[in-house]
Chain A
Amino acid sequence: MASENPQHQDGSTQGATTGVVQGITANLLQVRVDKPVAQNEIGYVQVEDREQGHIELMGEVIKYGDGLASVQVFDSTRGIEVGTTVRFSTSLLEVTLGPGMLSKEYDGLQNDLRAIDGVFLKRGSRSRALDPDAEWAVKPLVANGDAVYAGDWLAESEENQLPHRVLAPLDLEGQWTVRSIIGEGRIKASEELAVLENGEGQTRSVSMIQRWPVKIPVRAHVDKPRPHRLLETGVRTMDTLHPMLEGGTGFIPGPFGSGKTVLQHAISKQADADIVIVAACGERANEVVEIFNEFPELDDPRTGRKLMERTIIIANTSNMPVAAREASVYTAMTIGEFYRQMGLRVLLLADSTSRWAQALREMSNRLEDLPGPDAFPMDLSATIANFYARAGTVVLRNGKKGAITFIGTVSPAGGNLKEPVTEATKKATRCFYALSQGRADSKRYPAVDPIQSYSKYLEYPEFLAYAEANLSDRYAEQAAEMKNVLLRGSEARDQINILGDDGVPLDYHVRFWRDELLDFAILQQDAFDDVDQMTPMQRQLDMAATVLDICREDFDFAGFEAVSAFYKDLINAFRQWNYAPLDSEEFARQRERIAKLVREQREGQTSDNTAPSTAADQPTASAS
């Protein structure tokens, strides 16, 4: 219904339904209404604030029964009294879509945080999502008399050197005809750019700005094929072992402190995408500040432009209102759909989707809905599945493609993956990057558990064909081989732990150390080292081949200590190699050092592993 009436004026609409507050529990109001309201309709609570005087607090209808609307308020309800007026807007919760959104920092309701004055966010503060008066250079893409449908490209502009297409209103039904279209030139975002007419003679004026209700998916494409292209992230454990694809879905569950946010930030900085939308959903403000600070300084590794120019941040930090937290992920997704419809490749990251689920839980508990497992709402699983389903690659009517890749984090209670949010998300996604407490504790970052984690895309023939043509003809084989090295290594480790170093055949030590080599050389990656943090695909393929060659070779060892000495030296050399910038002198030197270590071991020479002279207070060292 919102789409019928997109022009609501900041809540102060007249003629719409008004209601009167009957009850308040935390941020949930019971509002008596005598005229119609809609599910998810937005209302504005008319509050007399002690400091600010008259303010309006935004809220959303989430339930209705017997003349009482349950309204969740996106703000503190302090001081609201029974009898307070609520004005309904006839709109659903909507975002404003148009040019000027890139590099903005929004709250969960798309208020531009920079445009709000003061250090503190006063209740009821609102600001415009984009500047309607900003001028943009546009070029028409259609002519008078052309037939257009919802989401078709009417004109083209440019924002931060990215193409920005002006879309026919996303809520158009059926075929419309272009009655007028602007010539090439400059135009204000809110000015009339085209007029459309449908078969019944209705006309529609179109500008660069439109609105869309966040909870309704944009469906203006003709096809949604399976993803097939690698989304290069520079994170080795992903690109080499558990690939994420453009238009794919994945999630990162892990206990607190295991590295979800660090991993997501790495992806957001390095991934090969046109637009990156980061939804900080109920997490720490300082983490968002880190993005605010870093992204304007950092270069996009592929285009050389500043990262911030391709980024939009939706910050609903953990201390911001819970209801707005629920909205924030939808706001982010809808903005993503808008850019996808322009034929761009969008990467959407949400940290953490568990906080969103908790917001749903808080509301459903207040509504006294029948609780499901762990007191989450019964339909949690469906809600999560529907949300992830909005991601994907689409084919537009003009044959062009756009994509939304979506990766969410999950914060399982107690770090236990058998909990409703993790389980529901597992069903809704194709990639699973499980962070392990053990790996994080031993600082093996990123703590992605290589055995538990998976990418179902490794089974997609369309991806395998792509990988063969564009990455390496042995890509999938290598990934499988590595997983095998890791599996055999962890079995060997278990046996060594049970039976002792001497109690197992030498081969077990070799297997264990091959696993360690792969772990240290490829899986572990220092997110804070300028070089190591991002490995280009070509270098990854090179590394994988080098490590696997060594893993395939059977060397002669005198005993298990010789095994560990050799692989430890190798690991050390690989680490130095990883820190060396690609194609630097150091890079060549370390590569040669690795080759030399291997050669020497093969030819039975011992390298210089002399132990340091034994210190005085260390009587046991010489015993073994």
Chain B
Amino acid sequence: MTTLRSSVLRLLCWAIGIGFVLYVPFVLNTRTVFGYRVGNMVLLNLGLAQVDLMLISIIGAVSLNFLTGCAGLISVGHAAFFAVGAMAAAAAGQQLGLPFAATLIAATIAGAIAGVIAGLPSLRVRGLYFVLSTLALHFIVVFCFAEYQYAFHDVAGVTMGDATIMGFELDNNVKWYFFLLPFVVLVCVMLQSTLGLREGRAVLAMRDNELAAAASGIDVRMLRLKVFAFSSAIASLAGALQAYYFTSVSAEIYTLDTAIQFIAMIIVGGMGSIRGGIAGAVVWLLLPSVLVGTTVELKVLPGGVAQFLVGHQPQMVNLTFGVLVAVLLITAPGGLAGLARSFAARGSRQGSGV
């Protein structure tokens, strides 16, 4: 009886959620809901472009969360894999003349190979030393990207071909949204189900206690390489998508800050779960708008302060993000996902207690 009701409820939630996700791009594109105009503030000053970039970030964040949160391998090299993806896609598209879809596959394969190479130090070193090897990797890849860019493209950047799939050209944000969405869903579902597999459980076991995992017959070295290849293949795919979205990318955009932003996302969202990665990317998307747009539009702050906020928007966003990361690290190691879980647990305990 109750199970029936709750499953109906769950179905309803899913339906509403899916409807929302499918309808959002039109709302953001036309700034109307069912034909009625809505203010910028209601839409949190969001543009569809930001949402599209967020979808790409989600792919990056969940893949990093798989590597760091689930497998316990800390990497500051995630921007480098984005660069690998962009480079591979550009080379496959521009130099070899492959079609768009094929370049995405090429990027994924290149990412996996780069991941295996980048993961090799993990066979020798752990912890901090491994973090440093990913730092070195970052600078080396960015250097290679710059060399590639100057050799085959121009100083302005690596130009990508048209993103056309089966004669259908991705030339506006709405099309991109519906192109990216399945990727996000696919990646999340794939990672989630991997965690349910025997191999996925082995990954978690390895993170929690490497010696015990090794003792129970898990080949931890091989497993680490596999995880690294898997995660970086996904990140490279995201990098290729991002490059096509931007139509042209240059070496300067792959900064250490980008890599750090991904780590910040999974810390804010919550380590070790797919949900955490998504939540972190969403916060990263919403923070600028909520922080600046709403305060200004609501006129809750005196003019001077609002002006100051608008004038320093990027810095204020970074400041808030940095403080958020620090506060969450200190007070809520589980991130937002962990907080939500403990709230839910408290709620259900109270519910059953009454």
Task: Report if A and B associate in a common complex.
Answer: no
Q: Using a CB–CB distance below 8 Å, which chain B residues touch chain A? A: none
